[in-house]
Amino acid sequence: MADVQRFLQAQEKVYMQALAEIRAGKKAGHWMWFMFPQIQGLGRSAMAQSYAIADLEEAQAYLQNPILAARLENLVAAVLTHSQLSAENIFGATDALKLRSCMTLFSLANPDIAMPFLAVLKQKFDAEPCQATLAILGISPSLFSTLVHSQ
CA 105 – CA 90 distance, rounded (Å): 20
Sign of CA dihedral 45, 70, 124, 131: positive
User: Is 0.85 topped by the overall pTM?
Assistant: yes
Give the CATH number for residue 115: 1.25.40.380
CA 102 – CA 133 distance, rounded (Å): 9
Calculate the dihedral angle through the C-alpha atoms of 47, 50, 54, 57, rounding to the nearest 10 degrees: -110
Question: Over its length of 151 residues, how does the chain's per-residue pLDDT go in tens digits?
Answer: 578 999 999 999 999 999 999 999 999 999 999 999 999 999 889 988 999 999 999 999 999 999 999 999 999 999 999 999 999 999 999 999 999 999 999 999 988 888 999 999 999 999 999 999 999 999 999 888 887 666 5
Domain count of the fold of the chain: 1
Residue span of the structural domain in which 44 resides: 5-150
